[in-house]
Each structure stands twice: as structure tokens, then as C-alpha cells.
Chain A
Amino acid sequence: MLIQFSLLFFVIFALSRVILQLRQGNLTIGGFIFWIAVFFAAFIGILLPELTGKVANFLGIGRGADVIIYISIALLFYLVFRLTIALEDIRHEISELVRELALRDKRGRRE
């Protein structure tokens, strides 16, 4: 019971952060929908744990908790992949900036 309340409280807190970030402009509409969906799914899962059990049975997996873990891991891998690509993009952008600075200097002095 207690853990359910704690988790629900945390999820509601997380949802509020997501809304805040959207308003601050740090999240795209797509990102907003994604994270709302994730936390909302968590909310439902915590509120009605029997539901996860039903999903588990449908998928042929033992327990509801196992389903949650499998889905979470797959999701996390995907997110890490996306982050990796984003990092590469940032590296590339930094280099473009450094390049622009290097060449701007030169353009003024070339014959």
C-alpha cells in the first residue's frame, strides 16, 4: 500500500516536471507526448497492478513485474541509442563552430 502511494506520488511529480519542461521550451511536442505516455503507463501500472498480470498472461510471460522490466529494458536501450546519436550530432556541431571561427580569422587575412 505504502509503496503504491510513494510510487504514485513520484509519478505525479514526474508528470508535473514534464509539463513544466514543455512550457519552458525544453521539450518538443513529440517528446512531451512520449514522456507523458511513459509516466501515464507507469501510473496505471501502479494503480492497477492486476492489469500488468493480465498483460503478462496475454504475452505468455510469468508475472506482471517481468513484463514491466522487459519493456523498460527495451525502451531504455532505445533511448540510450538515441542519446548516443544526439551526442555525435553535438560533437559535429561543436566542430562546425570551431571551424567557422578558424576560417573567419583567415578570411580577413587572405590575399
Chain B
Amino acid sequence: MVIVPAYNERKMIGKVLQDISQEIKGVGKVKIVVVDDGSNDGTGKIAKKYGVAVPRHIINRGLGASLATGFSYAHASGADIVVTFDADGQHRAKDIPRLIKPIIDRKADVVIGSRLRDNKTIMPFTRKVINWLSNMATFILFGIWTTDSQSGLRALSRWAIKLIKIRTQRMEVSSEIFKEIKRNKLRVVEIPIPAIYTAYSLNKGQRLSNASHVFWKLLLRLIS
């Protein structure tokens, strides 16, 4: 099951769903679910046109809450493998087969698509800094190292979904997932993926000014 958390992604959601649908065509029982996080620009309506499930948060709760809803839905639906996929066009559906392979082969419980393992792509400097700071924070707070703590492209086994408890609400969820991986002693593997940046996605993503706020939320999570 592919979970696509979306908040006001009217412009990109169609393309993203098309991309994923193309890739999973003929693979058999793969479903897409778009978690509409209180969008007020018609994102949910557009998504429904593609025949995918669209559970809707009536008010915006953030990426963390959206993923948690997606996981709940996936678990209840009996999904064996779950993929998280961004709705802003930063991910390529053709990376999905490579992403889920380690889980199918039973070599890992969680697979992270890391943009920093692929030397071919260029990441804007500020993004690299944010990413590096996040990686450091994840390591210091939770004791687990990853080359791309902020990547939204992940694959998780049913077992992982069951064990991972998401309590953070917003973007700090990326780091929290690593905390949960460590806590539950899940096997995690990274595969390289290209970093795709457009003016659109850069505008929507994380900001350096957000960093202290995210760090504080994660610290709270650690002690609460």
C-alpha cells in the first residue's frame, strides 16, 4: 500500500498519483491511499478522481499525524508492505520496486530512500545543512545514525507498522520514525535515490528557521 500524505497539493497530486499508478500497474494487489490533511484547495477531490482511498482529516494536523493515520489505515487493510511517498513531486514511483525489495527478501523491516547516498544528484546547500543537522539531532537524541533522516520515501513491513508508534504531529516525524526503529530493534536498510528539487517543493519544505522548533519537539518526545 502506498501512503501519500497531502496538504494542499492541488497542483502536484494528480501527477504524483499518475506516476504511482503507472508503476504499480500489473503488480497485483497494490492500493494507494491519500491522507488529506485538512486541505482547503480541493486536493482531496482531485485525488478521489483517481479512484484511490482518501481519508480526510477535517483539520490540518501535520505530516506526523497524517502518516499515523495512513499507518492505521494500512494496518486495518491488512497491507503487508507500506510505502510512504511525498505528494509534492519529490519522489519517483520507479524507485518503489527497489525500495520494497529488501522487505520482500526479508532482509529488512524498514527501507529508507536516502538522497545522500547517491553522489549523482545535487542538493541545495541549505537543504544539505538542514539534513545534516537533522541527522545529527537524530543521532544525538535517539542514538541511531542515518544518512537521510528527513527522507519521505520509505518502505515498512507490516510488522514495523504494528510496532512503530508515532506521537509527534508535524515534520519531526521523520526523526521520530528512526527513534521508533531503534526502540523496536527493527532492521533498517538504506537505498540511494535521487534528490528532486523544484522551486515549488523547496518553497513547501523544511526551513532552517524551523530547526530549533523541531529539535525542541523531538527532545520533548524523548522525555515524555
List the interface of chain A (C-beta within 8 A of B).
Answer: 84-85, 88-89, 91-92, 94-95, 98-99, 101-103, 105-107, 110
Interface SS of chain B: mixed
Q: Which of A85, A98, A106 contacts B61 (CB 8 A)?
A: A98
List the interface of chain B (C-beta within 8 A of A).
Answer: 35, 53, 55-59, 61-62, 64-65, 68-69, 72-73, 76-77, 167, 169, 217, 220, 224
B18 to chain A, nearest CB (A): 22
| Interface contact B65-A106, CB-CB below 8 Å | no
| Interface contact B57-A102, CB-CB below 8 Å | yes
| Interface contact A103-B169, CB-CB below 8 Å | no
The 8 closest A-B pairs by CB, nearest first: A95-B65, A102-B55, A95-B61, A99-B69, A106-B55, A98-B57, A102-B57, A85-B224
> Chain B residues with Cβ under 8 A from A99's Cβ?
57, 65, 68-69, 72
> Chain A residues with Cβ under 8 A from B65's Cβ?
95, 98-99
Give the total number of A-B pairs whose CB atoms are below 8 A apart.
49
> Chain B residues with Cβ under 8 A from A85's Cβ?
220, 224
> Chain A residues with Cβ under 8 A from B224's Cβ?
85, 88-89
Give A102's nearest chain B residue, CB to CB: B55
> Chain A residues with Cβ under 8 A from B220's Cβ?
84-85, 88
Known A85-B220, A88-B220: A94·B61 in contact at CB below 8 Å? yes
B215 to chain A, nearest CB (A): 14
Give B220's nearest chain A residue, CB to CB: A88
Give complex CA distance A92, B65 in Å: 8
